Structure 1
Amino acid sequence: MTSPDHETRPAPDVRLAAEAWESLFRAQVTLMRRFQADDIWRDLSMREYDVLFTLSRAPGGELRLRDLNEGMLIAQSSLSRMVERLEGRGLVTRSVPPDDARGTLVRRTPDGARRQRETGLAHVRTIAEYVGPALPGEELEHLRDLLDRLRLAQADIPDRR
C-alpha cells in the first residue's frame, strides 16, 4: 500500500537523478580542491573554519555539539577532538548546558570570531572568483534555490536504514 504523499510525487527519473547527483558531486570536488589549495587558511583547516562559521550563524552564538555535528561530514568523535583543539588555541569555549549535564555547548571566543571573519572575507572573494564567472547572477540565484530545495527535501524522504 502506498502513502498519500507517495501518490502525489511523480516517479523519479533514476538515470537523470543519478546524472544530476554526479554533476553536483564532481563540481563540488573540483571546487573544494581549489579552495583547499588557497593560501587563505593560514593555521586554520577548512573544517576548523567550518566549525567557526557554523557557530557564527547559530542563534545566540552557541550550539550543542550534537547540533554542530548535524551539518558536517565528520564523525562526532572527530568533531569533539577538533573542538578540543580549537579550545586549546583559544578560538572556542566549551561549557555544560544547564539542562543537560551530558551535553556540550560550543561558542566562539572573540579571537575565534575575529579569525572566522578575516578568513571568511578572503574565502568569499575566492568563491566569487571561482564560481562567479561560470554562471550569471540569475543562474546563480536559480542554482542556490534548487540546491536549497534539494537539501530541505531530505527531511521529507524516509531513511532506508
Structure 2
Amino acid sequence: METRTRGRTRLANDAWEAALGAHGVLMRRFTAEDVWHGLTMREYDVLYTLSKCDSPQRLGDLGGHVLLSQPGLSRLVDRLVERGLVSRCADPRDARAANLTLTDEGRALQRRIGRAHGASVAAALTSRLTDEELALLESLSLKLTIDPEELP
C-alpha cells in the first residue's frame, strides 16, 4: 500500500509541476503580446471578472475571483477607477461599502482586449492540442476547481 501511495504521490506532484510549467510558458507568451492597450494582465483580469458579473461587486467578492491580495487588489482598483475604467457606487445593503462595476469605457476596452487575447489563447492551445485533448483539459481543470468543502 505504501508503494502505491508513494507512486501516486509522485504522479500527482509530477502532474502539478507540468501544469505549472505549462501555465508559466503560456503566461509569458500572453504577457509579451501587444494586445493589452496599456493595461497589465492583472488589470485586465479585474475588467474581465467584472464583465462576467450580472451586478456590481464588492471588493471582497471580486477578490475571490482574481489572484491578488486584498491590499493589492484595492490599489489596482483605485488605478482603474482613476483611469475611468471602473466606477464605485454605494452598496444599497451597506452604506460603508462600495460596489464596483465597469464603466462604458471599461467595458469597451475589456471587449477589445478580450477579442485579441481570446484569439491568442485559441491559437496557442489549438496549435498543440486536438479538439479531444482540449475537451479533456477543460474537463480536468473544471474538476479541480471544485471547492474541497463540497467534496464527499
| Corresponding residue for residue 152 of structure 1 | 146
103, 111, 135: which one aligns with 1:109: 103
Post-superposition offset of 1:11: 10
- Percent of aligned positions that are identical: 42
TM-score of the pair, normalised by structure 2: 0.90
Post-superposition offset of 1:129: 1.4
Q: What is the CA deviation profile of residues 6-59 of structure 1, one whole-angstrom value per residue up to 9, with x for unaligned ones?
A: xxxx99921111111111000000000000000111211111111010011112
SS at match of 2:68: coil
Post-superposition offset of 1:72: 1.5
| Corresponding residue for residue 140 of structure 1 | 134
SS at match of 2:96: coil
Give the counterpart letter for 1:94 in structure 2.
Answer: R
Post-superposition offset of 1:148: 0.5
**Which ranges in structure 1 are unaligned for 5 or more consecutive residues?**
1-9
Give the counterpart letter for 2:79 in structure 1.
Answer: R
**Which ranges in structure 2 are unaligned for 5 or more consecutive residues?**
none
Post-superposition offset of 1:155: 3.9
Q: Does 1:19 align with 2:17?
A: no
CA RMSD of aligned residues (A): 1.9
TM-score of the pair, normalised by structure 1: 0.85
SS at match of 1:148: helix
Give the counterpart letter for 2:60 in structure 1.
Answer: R
Post-superposition offset of 1:71: 1.8
CA distance in 2, matches of 1:12, 1:118: 46
CA distance in 1, matches of 2:7, 2:141: 17
CA distance in 2, matches of 1:130, 1:111: 28
How do residues 8-157 of structure 1 correspond to structure 2 at under 5 angstroms?
13-60=8-55, 62-156=56-150
Runs of 4 or more off by more than 3 Å in structure 1? 153-157
